[in-house]
Chain A
């Protein structure tokens, strides 16, 4: 780049001027882009190199049962099913003994019951397996961010997108992601793009759920007359929040899936709880007298709300199809207070935000 007149006087530097950009001359020799064949004196055929030995990714071994245990479990299952079958048969037979119409009615009732039981079992199993699939995807994505080719990560991304709720906002986000993502993006970039475009709106919904649950916990702890009511309400509120967060990320929160989530939640929250417990004990030890004086119901309420928010964030981490990066992890402050201070988004029919607020906290 050169100036037409490089000797610009100081008083002219701020005046409008045209800067001419020199176009470099295209030398055929400098840009060797034309394809060509170059003869060599080398002889002999190409000998393929031996393939590199790749250690297969060893999946975690499922728990193995010995043959006696397998037979025992099978026996228990057979006994239970047999007991049910025989009991049903006897019940239907006795109905037939009474009258044929009653017998058929009993048969129909039994058939309806069995069909319903199968439907429930299938539904439960599907939702449970979908949830397990999320956990597998989380592990794969955590690994693939660093180690895998761009093309390999697509299968996992497809799996993730399959689970996303297909409402208007979800569909729009998926379409936006498809427009943005390019094959040359690295796995980390693709996952980041997916996280920002598709998952972040779901995070906003989940945070709204956590806020609502925290507010409930705060309110009921403040007004409840007995500690037992606090505990019961807290448990009910937690279960409701877990189910809502799971549904928000596209899972079907059936009984089996909820139980699995709660089991994991207890383990995850237990780890955090130990740290918290140490912190609380230390605080009480140092400033116990002061705390005793200010330990009012309001403080307890705050504490309950904080616990609920923490449980909510742990649940989000479990249900989120892509693991949180360190900078994506919502903090307690942002979930509890930060978003309360932020402009409240318009809410849809189910209390879900219809627009995506900017993430600035």
Chain B
């Protein structure tokens, strides 16, 4: 009798007010970004698939504590909202990866989101107390947003004038590999000085040539530090007249750009771009993403040679500015009271590197990002670095090369009928010295995804995806 009354009371109490939901339920926005070819779309797809599969196959995500400790009650896709961002095409992507012949999903060009509801049993003293009074599981609404990392390259523009930006950009365009891809653009600038009368046709032509240069630099050489970022990935902006600008050859001693000149038109559009494109992205979207993961193809940058590596480092430097609000720079003004709490820099495609060298991949990225191994007292966002593979598409093997038995990875290149072994060479833990750089190797194989079940039952094999997720949202699942 007494037990029954107690049980009824407990049931009534937990039903009347879901205390666990009240105390531990929350919404977290996790933004996934990175430079092109870093693997954002695959990361998102694998993350969602593995979360949905975690209840059936917990051993795929053992280091995500809510899974490892058996506290996960359910994970399911939330219904898409009509007023939100475009929905991330998870089902289409997983179908493509699971198809035969398999292929990788199309690359990210725009911002999109997907929401996963994770129901979990709270841990810790509060969780124990909630369980004690018979409260049910809590729900974490995990919003995962995918946006091109190139958009973050635009933050430094907010602090620059058009003349300063033009000078810096042209100096960069005339050096190294860029000089080749920018040849037509530079020839155009030689014929069209900044002080010539404004012409819509010339402005448009300059923009098109500059855009061609940026595309060639990205696609042919794998360069990343290409500003403005929206030129290559305009997202929902499409073709807007205020984006038709390009850097011009502005003399160092010029104090003010004269009205009615080509430079004045470009300057006006540059300022409009900052006001209409860059600032709104930070104030409307970026400030809401309290947890972010920045994916970097460190291996690609390393193998592509010194210039690409240095260029990637510059791009990461520019991206880092978006998370360094501790020194009250421009990002503090844009974010106002909002704070990016945690940022994970992840070196992707770790499955292309034999296991013995994977730690070097993360160490190399840490050196590129230039953050201490254990930052605990910074007023900026919390940073960490990891090496991961969203999908393991290779197996470990050995191969004899020049009389030496070396570690290689083996996979099936997309479009090929036979497997190939990939020897990655030595992955250093620190950026190589100038004399240690070898010949650029741009032919990194693209291996087919492994055999994957399209149903969220068995998950997708990965490297360190669970550790990354634990770092990013683990505290919300306690």
Contact = CB atoms under 8 A, between A and B. Distances in A.
A32 B374 contact: no
B411 A46 contact: yes
Interface in B227-245: none
A347 interface: no
Contacts of B447: 46
Q: Which of A42, A53, A157 has the most CB of B within 10 A?
A: A42
Interface string A24-45: 0000011011111111111111
A351 to B, nearest CB: 26
Contact of A54 (B68, B420, B448): B68
A101 interface: no
A278 interface: no
A68 B443 CA distance: 70
Interface in A52-89: 52-54, 56-57, 59, 62, 65, 67-68, 70-71
A51 B461 contact: yes
A225 B419 CA distance: 91
Interface in B1-44: 2-3, 6-7, 9-10
B77 interface: no
B411 A178 contact: no
A158 B376 contact: yes
Contacts of A59: 69
B377 interface: yes
A121 interface: no
A42 B69 contact: no
B421 A34 contact: no
A45 B448 contact: yes
A45 B373 contact: no
Contacts of A41: 418
Contacts of A34: 425, 438-439, 441
Contact of A49 (B401, B441, B461): B461
A183 B359 contact: yes
Contacts of B385: 183
B451 interface: yes
Contacts of A70: 6, 132
A56 B373 contact: no
B412 A35 contact: no
B417 interface: yes
Interface of B: 2-3, 6-7, 9-10, 57, 59-60, 62-63, 68-70, 102, 125, 128, 132, 303, 359, 362-363, 366, 372-377, 384-386, 392-395, 399, 401-404, 406, 408, 410-412, 417-426, 429, 438-439, 441, 443, 445, 447-448, 450-452, 459-461, 467
23 contacts: A30-B404, A33-B426, A34-B441, A35-B303, A35-B422, A36-B401, A37-B420, A37-B421, A39-B421, A42-B419, A45-B412, A46-B394, A46-B411, A46-B450, A52-B59, A67-B6, A129-B125, A154-B374, A158-B376, A177-B374, A178-B376, A183-B363, A183-B366
Q: Which 10 A-B pairs have the closest CB atoms?
A: A48-B461, A51-B59, A32-B401, A38-B421, A29-B402, A46-B450, A35-B425, A42-B419, A67-B6, A54-B62
Given A38-B420, A43-B418, 15 more contacts: A33-B426, A33-B438, A35-B422, A38-B423, A39-B418, A39-B420, A51-B62, A54-B62, A67-B3, A129-B125, A151-B386, A151-B467, A161-B377, A183-B363, A183-B373
